[in-house]
Amino acid sequence: MPDFSDNYYARLGIPFNATRDEVRNAYHDAARRLHPDANPSPGAVDQFLRVQEAYEILIDPQKREEYDLTLPSVDSSLGITIDTVYSRNELLRSPDPQLIYVMMEFIPIPTTEEVSTPLNLCIVIDRSTSMQGDRMDVVKAAAISIVRQLHPTDYLSIVSFSDRAEVIVPAMHSSNGLEKIESQITMLQPGGGTEIYRGLQAGFDEITRFLRPNYLNHLFLITDGQTYGDEQACLDLADQARDSGVTINGLGIGNEWNDKFLDTLTGVTGGNSTYVSDPRDIKRFMELKLKRLNRVFAENVILNMKLAEDVEIHYAFRLGPEPTKLPVDMPLNLGNIQSDSGLTIVFELFVKKIAQHNSMVLMDGIFRYEIPTRIIPTVRTPISISRPVSHADGQQKPPPQKIVQAMSKLTLYRMQEQAKQDLEAGKIEQATRRLRFLATHLLAQGETSLATTVLGEAGRIERERSLSEEGEKRIKYGTRSLLLPPGSGVNL
């Protein structure tokens, strides 16, 4: 059977039913990203030419029709069902602002043939001085274990960085010289500062060498430090990664790393960051990640909604898998959908003013994703979130249990976030009060050790007006792990 994976639709990342505007926009986006003047990466020129070729055919209706005839039958079904649950059945016609929670569950429809999608993986390892000893040894062991588990078709690259970056293993099929790769990893020596941007940039370059539509492009960043002065450059690179379909996942070791920054960095690409206090958890984390990647059904899952006037997203959160706070701006990168579990997100929508109609569209737009096992991976479908508007107050049904349960757990996570905001704003009393309320809830749920940490930090704020770095991370990731389904392990 001829290989159709490199077809023109896949090259442009558009669905089979793309309109001419979509073809044009996809080309312009790709050209802006890949044009040799703008992009010095090694693979960019080749990619640019391939995109150009695809565009020239697909933009011409007649050539496109002829081209379509050469393709085998195309599966253009959605492959995913969307289940939307609202906290209220109706909005109230009231002059006051109101909130509504919208929970969206994306559930894959299992296909008969389960093929795991090949990976294009880059592991970016912090080798700054602070990684010396245990940490470095465990990271090396974890990296080697990952390398051994890769499939022969996967691409692998490994980059290390301190205040500069070195490509330890350039992107290649992992089956090419497993032994050599392992010895390269073993020879890694710690030393130097921490400049994350250098590592990210080098890692991203390696991934771009083999940016293929039918591959999962992932970068694992492992660091124990804060980066100084290059945060913005890192975030710009994350935007570029998102646009190219590369997901960045972060693993922070110990207490020194900047969790807020790593959360933002990974969040924009649809990845997440994890806190590991015990170096021995590193291997477990990486193996779990790899296992998840091998079960990916859809990737680059993006929700691009336009909010109605007078509506704002106050809060967005991915409840599962891998609970993570999401940015509130669109487009929203939701990460992957695994074949054995759905993806669930929740929005807190703030409605400033109710529309004068009997029904109000809160937001609408498109939901798009790629199913890498398909010849034409990109799928997109319109989505609209709307609610009827009522006059009467008595009509409200109680909110669905599903939303209440999710929000009761998410509220605890948000309480610690808000306590930190209180603290930053100098509202000491408010911050400690909130933390003590949080501790009460944790006690009631049997989270005694987390509650003790929270109370300890509340006391510390009163005395010293600050949180300890360790306590802060423990509370954040501890309350976040409450959102995990039972039995899925701490923090991962």
Q: Which residues bind another protein (CB under 8 A)?
A: 87-88, 92, 94, 96-101, 350-351, 396-399, 401, 403-404, 407-408, 411-412, 414-415, 418, 430, 432-434, 436-438, 440-441, 443-446, 448
Query: Residue 259 or residue 422: which is nearer to another protein going by CB?
Result: 422
Burial bucket for residue 142 (CB in 10 Å: 0-12, 13-18, 19+): buried
Type of residue numbered 323: P
Q: How far is the CB of 401 from another protein (least distance, A)?
A: 8
The encoded tokens of residue 48 equal 């640019």
The encoded tokens of residue 399 equal 């909110």
Burial bucket for residue 69 (CB in 10 Å: 0-12, 13-18, 19+): exposed
- 333 strand-pairing partners: 302
Q: How far is the CB of 415 from another protein (least distance, A)?
A: 6
Q: How far is the CB of 445 from another protein (least distance, A)?
A: 7
CA nearest neighbour of 215 among 182, 171, 167, 176: 171
Query: Residue 249 or residue 432: which is nearer to another protein going by CB?
Result: 432
Q: How far is the CB of 489 from another protein (least distance, A)?
A: 17
Q: How far is the CB of 480 from another protein (least distance, A)?
A: 15
CA nearest neighbour of 308 among 91, 71, 151: 91
- CA torsion angle 438 472 413 231 (round to 10): 160
Query: Residue 16 or residue 350: which is nearer to another protein going by CB?
Result: 350
Query: Residue 89 or residue 468: which is nearer to another protein going by CB?
Result: 89
Strand 296-307 relative to strand 332-338: parallel, antiparallel, unpaired? antiparallel
Q: How far is the CB of 219 from another protein (least distance, A)?
A: 35
Query: Residue 92 or residue 141: which is nearer to another protein going by CB?
Result: 92
Do 100 and 351 form a contact (C-beta atoms < 8 A)? yes
The encoded tokens of residue 305 equal 């909604």
Distance between CA 474 and CA 381 in Å, rounded? Answer: 40
Distance between CA 473 and CA 492 in Å, rounded? Answer: 14
Q: How far is the CB of 394 from another protein (least distance, A)?
A: 10
Distance between CA 302 and CA 375 in Å, rounded? Answer: 19
Query: Residue 179 or residue 424: which is nearer to another protein going by CB?
Result: 424
Query: Residue 338 or residue 479: which is nearer to another protein going by CB?
Result: 479
Query: Residue 129 or residue 411: which is nearer to another protein going by CB?
Result: 411
Q: How far is the CB of 413 from another protein (least distance, A)?
A: 11
Query: Residue 51 or residue 406: which is nearer to another protein going by CB?
Result: 406
Do 126 and 165 form a contact (C-beta atoms < 8 A)? no
Q: How far is the CB of 410 from another protein (least distance, A)?
A: 8
Query: Residue 293 or residue 403: which is nearer to another protein going by CB?
Result: 403
Query: Residue 141 or residue 328: which is nearer to another protein going by CB?
Result: 328
CA nearest neighbour of 20 among 54, 62, 71, 61: 61
Q: How far is the CB of 310 from another protein (least distance, A)?
A: 14
Query: Residue 38 or residue 425: which is nearer to another protein going by CB?
Result: 425
Distance between CA 238 and CA 248 in Å, rounded? Answer: 8
Strand 98-108 relative to strand 80-86: parallel, antiparallel, unpaired? antiparallel
Q: Which helix (H) or strand (E) holds 159?
A: strand 155-161
Q: How far is the CB of 467 from another protein (least distance, A)?
A: 18
**DSSP characters over 395-458:** TPPPPPHHHHHHHHHHHHHHHHHHHHHHHHTT-HHHHHHHHHHHHHHHHHTT-HHHHHHHHHHH
Distance between CA 411 and CA 438 in Å, rounded? Answer: 9
Q: Which helix (H) or strand (E) holds 369?
A: strand 359-370
**DSSP characters over 21-63:** HHHHHHHHHHHHHH-TTT---TTHHHHHHHHHHHHHHHTSHHH
Distance between CA 54 and CA 76 in Å, rounded? Answer: 19
The encoded tokens of residue 365 equal 């737009």
Q: How far is the CB of 319 from another protein (least distance, A)?
A: 14
